[in-house]
Structure 1
Amino acid sequence: MVVGKSYKKLDSEAILTGRPIYTDDLIDQKNVLSIKILRSPYAFAKIKDIDVEKAKSLDGVVDVYTYKDVEQIRYSEGGEAAPEMAPHDRILLEPIVRFVGDEVAIVVAEDERIAEKARKLIKVDYEVLEPVLDMEKALDNEIIIHEGKRHHGKPFTKYDNSRNLVSDFSVSQGDVDEEFKNCDVILERTYRTQAQQHCSMETNRSYAYIDDKGKLTIVSGNQTISHMRRQTAQAVGLPIKDVRLKAAKVGGAFGGKKLSITEPYVAFVTNKTKRPSKLIMDREEMFMATSVRHPIISKIKIGSDKEGNIKAIDMKVLSNTGAYGSNAAAVTMESGQNVLPMYARVPAIRFNGKSVYTNMVPSGPLRGYGTTQGTFAMASIMNELAREINMDPVELLLKNTIRKGAEGGILPHKMRSFNVEECINRGKDLIEWDKKYPRVKVGENKVRGVGAALALHTSGIAGQDTATVILRLEEDGSYMLMVGSSDLGTGAETVLCQIAAESLNTDMDSISICTGDTNTAPYETGAYASCTTYITGNAVVRAGDKLKEKLLEIASKKMCLAKCDLVLEKDRIRHKKDESMYVLLTEIVRESLIGENTDQIMVKASYGSREKPRPFMAGFAEVEVDTLTGKVDLIKFVLVADCGTIINPNLAKVQAEGGLMQGIGLALYEDVVYDKRGNLLTNNFMHYNIPVKSDVGEVIVEFKSDYEPTGPYGAKSIGEAVVHTPSPAIANAICNAVGFQGRELPITPEKVFMGMRKREEK
């Protein structure tokens, strides 16, 4: 058995020893042009005039490009499908800028120092416009951020740029208004989640060159080579066949490297100059000019009887997509569609989600993809309802949460695996819920509280995500697995090799993997939406089964034995009962490569997502609050997860721990702050606060897996679901400790202190 064992990451030695595997390592530094982007100092403005002559005259400057030099081709930076569920509202350079940091000019020089000096010599005359900086005032505002006709690939999102509306989506079950009439208790609350930065260690960067076949080649640490190839080709006006995308190792992504941020610019410069070029963003640019988590305002109305049986839920969300549409429609949809199925046994549910443009840093995909924001709101109001009816919140959750086998209503697919009770009960034991709930005083000014939250996610996007893999037998009897996926540092390559080894009844040493080059890799939608293990893994299982059948068939003819009597092992195929009867794989492969009837032994297999199995998370927090200052210390966080069969326990545990830290940062520390003119104030790690290990107490992760029959060897996803529970569980724990319910993230000491004081005044 290979599945279920903790193998170290295949690339761990290369990473730890500093081998040249990242984008910057692969650049031909002697001949490459450096690119710098001049960025807008205004949140909304028109370019009246731009003077680049002094910059161009500087020795070592190759060229400076403005909107006058760029074909005005619209494209979408966010790629998940074709056509995209996103407006084509981007142009490489245009005579209007929509946020502080928007692209104004492209400076190309022989080295970075000269490019930086030239950038400072460009003079721009702006007509400064009034920006829209309040998401609640954006819809139908007289200020229109994107004027003129815009193409949108998915008309059902109701895109209308004349209203600053990017999407408007609804889904429901039952008669919500009628059910509210039957409720004993009705609560209406508003919750706000803030923008959040990706904070990947490696900044966004790309390198472009013309390969020996004349194809424009872009190298970057990206999440989706196929979509990015299409986006980049469209942005620079080239046929897809003339563009090649290669994925280097990714130094952290979390969703931020599935957007075409730097790739189109190096493609444009290299296509113009026919010379290699690179664009490496600095940390300030990462904060101000890439993308952030969508800020979302969630308004929820919930009703139940006195026993805690919820009758109706009405959820309305407003999402701020910033200056460009990107993934706004899908993220906003998932803030309900990936949250409300948890409560599908509720008779009546209604969801509406709108996303709007503002003149702020564009929002985009970030781990959790809307579900994190929706979970904070929904899990928080569940905790508030429990307090309203004087019920243990865990009891309320157990009473209203769906179970394995549920289908229909707001659920798009049957729940074939969903280990609710075991996850919750184990989490309660680990946090010592019955002993500590709701609060324990531990000092004169210190009170501890515990809180709980549940969450689910998805495993890929049903009806959209696909993967194709190629698996072949090598001359030495080993196997080569070729996939189009990217490893984002999660160990995905290791997991896929484990799945291949399991299907071929061999060991990990016998599997090699090749990823990330559109010239050689088969098509795959990419590494996002928690899909790699489930989608690509299923394709690998199919390929392994096909190759095994092919090998057994060849051996059957060669050995004159029935195929059903043979078994495939690491280096041979033998008779099931008589081990002396066998043929070596090296002999089979050698014969397949010589003579008139050569037929290299390889197979291709694809998997398209028909369902989206739900991983389930039960999160429990214990906090300590200083009643004099409002300071919150996270003493312990417990996560018990059902993500199906665990392919690699160590890698799964690390995924969970990393996701929890991001969720804790969202809950207590991280905030994206602007001034009144739209300038980003938190544009470096001195001003943007992320948690470190010393900020967090004990973190416990356990798995209580339920076998998923549609997954590869029973597996589901884990990568995104783990980020959802910290913010509502921590908010609930703080409320249980001192009575302050945080409805706006992050929950800072100032907010806790003021909340306690207001409660005392009342």
Structure 2
Amino acid sequence: MIGNSIKKIDYEGNLLGGKSYTEDYIDYRNLLYIKVKRSPYAFAEIIDIDTSRAEKLEDIVAIYTYRDVEQIRYTECGESYPEASPHDRILLEKIVRHVGEEVAIIVGENIEACTRAEKLIKVKYKVFDPILTKKDSLNLKDIIHKEDDGFEPFDFGYDPKKNIVSKFHIGYGDIDSEIEKSDIVFSGSYSTHAQAHAMMETLRAYAKIDERGRLEIISANQSIYHMRRQVAKVLGLSLNQVRMRRIRIGGGFGGKNVCITEPIVGFVTWKTKRPSMIIYDRIENFNATSTRHEMDFDLVIGANKDGKINGIKMRGYNNTGAYGSNGPAVTMEAGQNTLPIYSVINAVDYKALTYYTNRVSAGAMRGYGTPQGTFALDSAINELSEKLGLDPVEVKLKNTIRTGHIGGLNKSTIGSFNIEECIKRGKELIDWDNKRFKLKDEGHIKRGVGMGHATHSSGVSNIDVATVLLRLQEDGTFTVFTSSSDLGTGSDTILLQIAAKALNTDMEGVNLVSGDTDSCPYDKGAYASCTTYLTGNAVVRACEKIKEKIFEKAKKYLNVSTEKMKLEKGKVVNSENNKSVTLKQLGIDSAVSPNAEAIMADATFGIGNTPRPYAVSFVEVEVNTLTGKVDILKYVSVIDCGQVINPNLARIQAEGGITQGIGFALYEDVIFTDKGKLLTNNFFNYNIPTRNDIGEIIVDFCPEKEPTGPFGAKSIAELVTNSPAPAIADAIFNACGARIRSLPITPEKIIRALEKEED
């Protein structure tokens, strides 16, 4: 079961168009359709809304504005409780803070009527100058959140009267002293841009009143328990009044870990007592959901001539947009998931803050701040290496952690970190020593190679928790009940492989029920690369517990102590005489006999200190110095994600994450006008890489088993997105000498850098 490329358990149903996604579960009888009227302004106050003409239209059921909504502040982010995000949003309020914000909710018998009504609603605004930049925000050109009822669930530095969402500081050692004593001091500033999730399935949700009068919501979301908590708060309901269900997800990447559409359908259905549905079109998905956080970094690194780094000082600035969703945690992780790899050096100092602007809110996105922080830190070390005249590979190897290390920013012993083997293998696959240092070809087409590396987490230390329920059925098979979310990654398959291994059976002997707050126990949800490690560990624990209960039940058949029993496929065996009893017999005894006592076990696993996976990226590019065009020829990623549970699914995860990282580095950009209007709000003008843009991708694994992981596993999902950008930037420099410190790396930036070098 472990190390076997078993097909995803839902692959056939999905490929054949089976009942899988949110719309497949909608009952269209008596269904209400919803459309949202949105603000054309980035920052304004609603003076008046006239809905009278729209309400007279045939098939319009209701139009709701801020006058109809209880002014309860909440956070849309789906994080563990208490959320590391301010409660600063209201479903509908008088102040709009970004173009595309909700102004009115239109409810009708069909979407055509809602569309006509939207055009007839007249809104009078008092328009303010938008705040779009760090300078305008922190210099208090205006205050974006002037209300007094916003709050932080715990102290993370929330100061809205200064447009500050959070402040963060970690470090150790005497940073100033270490930099002062260094032979060379390198400083540089780096900037990363926003990035859209660009998932195939846009946000959507469906709600109905169940047979007991409760609110039931079905959506493609990443964390059902967090979604339920936010919806209940918006509507003033108890948790018991809300049932949240998660259906198959057509791409998430963090964009479905925000509670956006669920409160809207919940509000409409609770008001009307009729089922309702909302489906965002592609432009709405760009304009009114969330993006990756735009971040800036200033770095100072002190090092000796031999490449030994003494200290790293890093300052971060995080543009979270109109609302604080995920902002504080992303600011933390931009340092906490990048700097620990250098915890062998003498001093590290990271300070960062999160600030508001009048742009669509940033939220969770694959990597969660780590791609931003890794681009800055790894690029700076690549530049430092060049100034020292040293191979960046050797500089990084000299200054990074190893298995067994403890100290610095790592709070516990590093159980596995196969960095040397990963780098050795990556160098071989890219032919690093020959290509990095050879003389460059004459002419305008230049080739070069670059390197970047990264670590991540396997869940969030001392916060993340998952509970799994396991039951023996009457036919002798097992059912796993979990609230984890499969984002299309195949995590449901992974969990069943883990269960099958722990129970000494095969995939036919296990089944899985997931995604329902009424039947499945608490799980923090699918984010922070946690499912295999966090929920997988809970599965292993539940399997150990249920084995003990099965052995106790088997005593009456085997007449032997439990210590002398072993679990085999479909049966319990007395190891002394090979006498056995079938699991089917025990299942019948525990389910349908007059004296039945169910054989079930639940187990909870909470992360203490998260283990760290590792990935190194080597990339070969071709740069046209006349046009600035970059072509990726070959991309090599070598990964230590611990024991690889399912190699095929792990490889697909890596290839997808690398492609998103390439898009982040070269193609994707979220562009606003000076009035805060998003220009890149569709796939005609928002460029994501196609298969022709990513060259040859080679993924290899050099796993080192993680002693705390389920059968030695760690995470992979976000890790692979973190290192493409610095590797590509380094390769471009190696090819043509253009050093680019801001993303995306466009042809224009390369041409300007080359012209500057010529001057």
Q: TM-score, normalised by structure 1?
A: 0.98
Structure 1 residue 598: deviation in Å? 2.1
SS at match of 2:679: coil
Structure 1 residue 588: deviation in Å? 1.2
| Distance (Å, rounded) in 2 between the aligned partners of 1:682 and 1:577 | 70
State which of 729, 738, 741 in structure 2 corresponds to 1:740.
738
Given the superposition, is the C-alpha separation of residues 627 and 111 from structure 1 closer, same or farther in structure 2, using an over 3 Å criterion?
same
Runs of 4+ with >6 A deviation: none
Kept in 1: contact 2:451–2:731 (CA 8 A): yes
Query: Which residue matches 1:392?
Result: 391
| Distance (Å, rounded) in 2 between the aligned partners of 1:555 and 1:155 | 50
Q: Which runs of 5+ in 1 are unaligned?
A: none
Structure 1 residue 214: deviation in Å? 1.1
Query: Which residue matches 1:530?
Result: 529
Q: Does 1:613 align with 2:611?
A: yes
Query: Which residue matches 1:668?
Result: 666
Kept in 2: contact 1:93–1:105 (CA 8 A): yes
| Distance (Å, rounded) in 2 between the aligned partners of 1:264 and 1:52 | 22
Query: Which residue matches 2:344?
Result: 345
Structure 1 residue 442: deviation in Å? 5.2
Structure 1 residue 574: deviation in Å? 1.6
Query: Which residue matches 1:424?
Result: 423
SS at match of 1:117: helix
Query: Which residue matches 2:378?
Result: 379
Deviation string for 1:191-226 (max 9, x for gaps)? 000000000100000000001111100000000000
| Distance (Å, rounded) in 1 between the aligned partners of 2:609 and 2:549 | 29
Q: Which runs of 5+ in 2 are unaligned?
A: none
- The 5-angstrom pairing of residues 147-162 of structure 1 reads 147-162=146-161
Kept in 1: contact 2:467–2:535 (CA 8 A): yes
Q: Does 1:750 align with 2:748?
A: yes
| Distance (Å, rounded) in 2 between the aligned partners of 1:154 and 1:731 | 39
- The 5-angstrom pairing of residues 606-645 of structure 1 reads 606-645=604-643
Q: TM-score, normalised by structure 2?
A: 0.99
Q: Does 1:759 align with 2:729?
A: no
Structure 1 residue 529: deviation in Å? 0.5
Q: Indicate the larger mover: 584-593 or 612-621.
A: 584-593
Structure 1 residue 633: deviation in Å? 0.4
Structure 1 residue 28: deviation in Å? 1.1
SS at match of 1:170: strand
Query: Which residue matches 1:646?
Result: 644
Structure 1 residue 153: deviation in Å? 3.7
Query: Which residue matches 1:552?
Result: 551
Structure 1 residue 245: deviation in Å? 0.2
Kept in 2: contact 1:197–1:287 (CA 8 A): yes
Kept in 2: contact 1:438–1:737 (CA 8 A): no
SS at match of 2:120: coil
Structure 1 residue 43: deviation in Å? 0.4
Deviation string for 1:529-582 (max 9, x for gaps)? 000000000000001111112112221332112322221111111223544x11
Given the superposition, is the C-alpha separation of residues 400 and 18 from structure 1 closer, same or farther in structure 2, using an over 3 Å criterion?
same
Kept in 2: contact 1:543–1:604 (CA 8 A): yes
SS at match of 2:451: strand
Structure 1 residue 409: deviation in Å? 2.0
Structure 1 residue 589: deviation in Å? 1.6
| Distance (Å, rounded) in 1 between the aligned partners of 2:247 and 2:490 | 14
SS at match of 1:320: strand
| Distance (Å, rounded) in 1 between the aligned partners of 2:507 and 2:80 | 33
Kept in 1: contact 2:323–2:361 (CA 8 A): yes
Q: Does 1:281 align with 2:285?
A: no
Query: Which residue matches 2:220?
Result: 221
Query: Which residue matches 1:449?
Result: 448
Kept in 2: contact 1:87–1:150 (CA 8 A): no
- The 5-angstrom pairing of residues 78-227 of structure 1 reads 78-227=77-226
Deviation string for 1:478-525 (max 9, x for gaps)? 111100111000000000000000000000011110000001110111
Query: Which residue matches 2:729?
Result: 731
Residue identity (%)? 52
Structure 1 residue 140: deviation in Å? 4.3
Kept in 2: contact 1:439–1:450 (CA 8 A): no
| Distance (Å, rounded) in 1 between the aligned partners of 2:664 and 2:140 | 30
SS at match of 2:79: coil
Structure 1 residue 136: deviation in Å? 2.9
| Distance (Å, rounded) in 1 between the aligned partners of 2:447 and 2:746 | 16
| Aligned residue-pair number | 759
Amino acid at match of 2:748: E
Deviation string for 1:149-181 (max 9, x for gaps)? 244344431100000000000011100111111
Amino acid at match of 1:286: N
| Distance (Å, rounded) in 1 between the aligned partners of 2:117 and 2:268 | 16
SS at match of 1:502: helix
Kept in 2: contact 1:449–1:622 (CA 8 A): yes
Structure 1 residue 128: deviation in Å? 0.5
Amino acid at match of 2:260: I
Query: Which residue matches 1:366?
Result: 365
Query: Which residue matches 2:571?
Result: 572
Given the superposition, is the C-alpha separation of residues 212 and 174 from structure 1 closer, same or farther in structure 2, using an over 3 Å criterion?
same
SS at match of 2:138: coil
SS at match of 2:9: coil
Amino acid at match of 2:193: Q
| Distance (Å, rounded) in 1 between the aligned partners of 2:417 and 2:646 | 20
| Distance (Å, rounded) in 1 between the aligned partners of 2:536 and 2:139 | 45
| Distance (Å, rounded) in 2 between the aligned partners of 1:591 and 1:402 | 53
SS at match of 2:446: strand
| Distance (Å, rounded) in 2 between the aligned partners of 1:729 and 1:452 | 4
Kept in 1: contact 2:460–2:607 (CA 8 A): yes
| Distance (Å, rounded) in 2 between the aligned partners of 1:210 and 1:358 | 38
Kept in 2: contact 1:440–1:737 (CA 8 A): no
| Distance (Å, rounded) in 2 between the aligned partners of 1:601 and 1:671 | 54
| Distance (Å, rounded) in 1 between the aligned partners of 2:308 and 2:441 | 35
Kept in 1: contact 2:483–2:521 (CA 8 A): yes
Q: Does 1:587 align with 2:585?
A: yes
Amino acid at match of 1:132: I
Given the superposition, is the C-alpha separation of residues 270 and 115 from structure 1 closer, same or farther in structure 2, using an over 3 Å criterion?
same
Q: Indicate the larger mover: 726-735 or 626-635.
A: 626-635
Amino acid at match of 2:672: Y
Kept in 2: contact 1:438–1:449 (CA 8 A): no
